[in-house]
Amino acid sequence: MIGSMNVIAREIVLFFILLIGTSCSSTYRFLIDVQEPAAVTLPVSAQNVLILNNTIIQPEDYGIERTFNGQSVSNDYPLLLDSMVWLAIGKITNVLNESGFFNTVAVYRELLRTDAEWFSIANLSTEDQADFYNMGNFDALLVVDRLLFSIKEDVKTVKTGAFSFEPLAFLDLKIDGIINCSMYTYGKEKPLISFSVSDSLSTKFTIDNDSILLFKEIPEFLLEELSRRIGNLSAQRFIPTWKTEERTLFTGYGARMQEAAGYAANLQWAKAESIWTIELENKTKLVDKAKIAFNLAVANEMQDKIEQAFTWALKAKEHLKNVNPDNENQTVEITNKYISKLEQRIQNNRLLDLQWGRER
C-alpha cells in the first residue's frame, strides 16, 4: 500500500550494535512511521460531516468541590462551563479538517436541547437527522451528547516569614472530564457508534493568595485545556494515525553484506534487495540464510510489499527451526516479533483500504 509508511526524517541510523557471539554478525536498527487504521471504520460515503451540540450544561453545584483552609468555598466564583463544550467541538473540527480524511467538516452553532435533564443523553430522531442532512448535503452527523467535569480543588494559606509581604497559598487542583459522542450516518436510524472519552489534568504549586486567580482563572485555564484534549481524543477515533516502530537488519562482516547495508541506510532498498537475493543463494549455513531472508522481508516492507515481506519472514523462521536455539535465541526472538508486526500490518492495511475507499 503505497504511502502507508515513511522512514522518519530524524533519521535512518539510530545506532549500530555489535553482537558478540557465534553468529559473527551485527545489527542495524532504524525507525519507521507506520499508519494505523482509525478506531472506527466509517462508510466511505461519510465524507461530509456536521458536528452538533446536543448537551445540557451541568449545574454549578454538581461535581465541584472547592475548599479554602478546609472550609467549603461559596459559588462566588462561577466557572464558564457552558463554553467548554464549544472548545471541545472546535478542537474536533480542526483535527478532522486537518486530517484530510473528510471532504467537509462543519459545525451547527445552535444548541439542540432546551430541557433541563442535563445528565441524560437524547438521541436524534429520524426527522431531526433528515433536517441536518439536508442542511448542506451532509452524510454524517457527529453529535456531542454530554460533557461533564469533576473538579476537586483544595487551597491552603502558606505561612511566610516575618519579612515576607506577599501572602501565598498552596493550590492542589484536579479536574476530570468525560465526553459522550455519537456518530450517525445517512440512511441509518440509530448511531453507527456511541462512545465516551475521558481525561484529567492536575496541578500542585504555591502561588499568590488571590481568590480570583485561585478559584476562577486557574481552574478555567485547566478546564479549557482539558476540553481541547478531550476533543482531540474524540476526533482521533475517526482518522488513521501514525505510529513509530523500530526495524532491524542483519549486516554481517562480508563486503557484500556491508554494501547492502549501505544501500539500505540510504533508502535504496531495491539495490539492497538485489544483493541480498544473490547472497542468499551463495550461503550454505542455515543461520546465514535465515538472516538474509529476514533482511529481504524488511526490504520488501520498506517498498510497501507487505505480503511479500511476510513470506520472507516466514522463510527466515523456517531456516531457524534447524539452528541451535541456544546460539541464536536473539535472532529467533527478533524474527518472531517481526512476524507478529507484519501480521498486524496486513490486518491494519485491510482496514485502511476500507477506510480510505481503496480497492485491493
Q: What is the pLDDT of residue 161?
A: 62
Q: What is the pLDDT of residue 165?
A: 64
DSSP-assigned letter for residue 323: S
Output the pTM of the full model.
Answer: 0.81
CA–CA separation, 257 and 280 (whole Å) = 11
Outline which parts of the chain fall under CATH 3.30.160.
48-239
Tell me, rounded to whole angstroms, the distance of Cα 27 from its chain centroid: 29
DSSP, collapsed to helix, strand or coil, labels residue 336 as helix
CA atoms within 13 A on the CB side of 56: 12
pLDDT tens digits for range 179-222: 999 999 999 999 999 999 999 999 999 999 999 999 999 999 99
Q: What is the pLDDT of residue 1?
A: 46
Outline which parts of the chain fall under CATH 1.25.40.10.
5-37+249-356
- pLDDT 10s per residue in the chain (360 long)? 434 444 433 333 333 333 333 334 588 899 999 999 999 999 988 999 999 999 999 998 899 999 999 999 977 889 999 999 999 999 999 999 999 899 999 999 999 999 999 999 999 999 999 999 999 899 999 999 999 999 999 999 998 765 556 789 999 999 999 999 999 999 999 999 999 999 999 999 999 999 999 999 999 999 999 999 999 999 999 999 999 999 999 998 889 999 999 999 999 999 999 999 999 999 999 999 999 999 999 999 999 999 999 999 999 999 999 888 778 899 999 999 999 999 999 999 999 999 988 865
Q: Write down the residue that cell numbers 471541545 correspond to.
A: 88
Nearest residue to 109 via CA among 51, 49, 174, 175? 51
CA–CA separation, 150 and 342 (whole Å) = 42
Contact residues for 159 (Cβ-Cβ < 8 A; gap 6+): none
CA–CA separation, 186 and 204 (whole Å) = 47
- Cβ atoms of residues 192 and 184 within 8 Å: yes
Tell me, rounded to whole angstroms, the distance of Cα 109 from its chain centroid: 28
The type of residue at 181 is C
CA–CA separation, 220 and 81 (whole Å) = 8
Grid cell locating 276:
541480498
The correct answer on CATH 3.40.50 for the domain covering 48-239 is no
Helix or strand holding residue 7 (H, E): strand 5-7
Grid cell locating 274:
538485489
pLDDT tens digits for range 104-113: 999 999 999 9
CATH of 5-37+249-356, one of 1.10.1040.10, 1.10.260.40, 3.40.50.2300, 1.25.40.10: 1.25.40.10
Q: What is the pLDDT of residue 52?
A: 98
